Amino acid sequence: MPYCLSDSDGLHVRSILSFLGKDVIFPVLAWSDMTKENKVIPIQLDDGKVVEAVFYGSGTLCLSTQVGCVVGCPFCASGAKGFFRHLTFDEMMTQIEVATNLCTPERITLSGIGEPLHNWDVTKQLIEDFALPVSVTTTGSPLKHLRKLLQLPHNGVMLSLHSAIEATHKQLIPRGPSCEGLLQTLKEAWPTLSRNKKRKLGINYLLIDGINDSQQELDAMADVMRSFPEVTLHLLLCNTVEHATFRSPPDERLQEIHQFFRDQDIHCRRANSWRRKEDGGCGTLMVRGLQGISEKTVAS
């Protein structure tokens, strides 16, 4: 039987349902153990494709914007099978509808499967119209949409840079914008942004052992961060996926890297406890979903 969303108590849930203005019936797949603090929620679409949302115990609901991804990041399992299609606005809302029956989101982040800026119209509509604050994680591609995104009423923009050295950046984000182009776009927009908006920007640095964790890489990233003093540098870790060849550096090295940036007076954060959990990694969604869920719907 299909799973039917029913209203429930809570301000956030009521505001979401009020925004929708209608009841919706949709199929979902069996999801991860709901006793976990992070909830991984796979959803089967009308054409049989599967996407996943993740609710983090911190109150953030992470949504997918595409089925698959064209960017081709070698460390990202979610895009390993390539790009299939964009999600519609209704399919984005379906992810929220399913999640609000299981938990109470306080904010939304477009950080799941897909590049949000490739699905620009839907991403823009969600940011501008939805009741809860919406943040975006993006490679910055295409840059024309990044320029527009920086001016929207977002709750945060996380730029997935991962390296400030062009060759390494290209290796890790093969079909994203150039590192130079991305940073130039940010520099051009910088004078137009309020202090509050500047402080809502972040640069993601996924640390990968032997690839972007050398002192040369750290120095290059530090140089970038000095140009944008209000921006936060987020040190991210690889989440374990079966057969994955990428690993983050050992804990001792991670501590050294974090201390290096702190010594440079750079605002730097390590991945929070929710992101470090087994079901907390962007890039692992598609693989975990296909390996660990059954093809039956949840009974109402």
* Mean predicted lDDT score pLDDT of the chain: 83
Region class of 72: left (phi > 0), else alpha (psi between -120 and 50), else beta: left
pLDDT for 191-206, tens place per residue? 999 999 999 999 999 9
Cβ contacts of 296 within 8 Å, gap of 6 or more: 29, 30
State how far the Cα of 223 lies from the Cα of 201, in Å rounded to an integer: 17
Name the token pair of 43. Answer: 């959803």
Name the token pair of 185. Answer: 């776009």
pLDDT above 70: residue 5: no
pLDDT for 165-220, tens place per residue? 999 999 999 999 999 999 999 999 999 999 999 999 999 999 999 999 999 999 99
pLDDT for 241-279, tens place per residue? 666 788 999 999 999 999 999 999 999 999 765 555 555
Return the DSSP state at 118: G
| Model confidence, pTM | 0.83
In order of their start, the domains of the chain are: 3-292 (3.20.20.70)
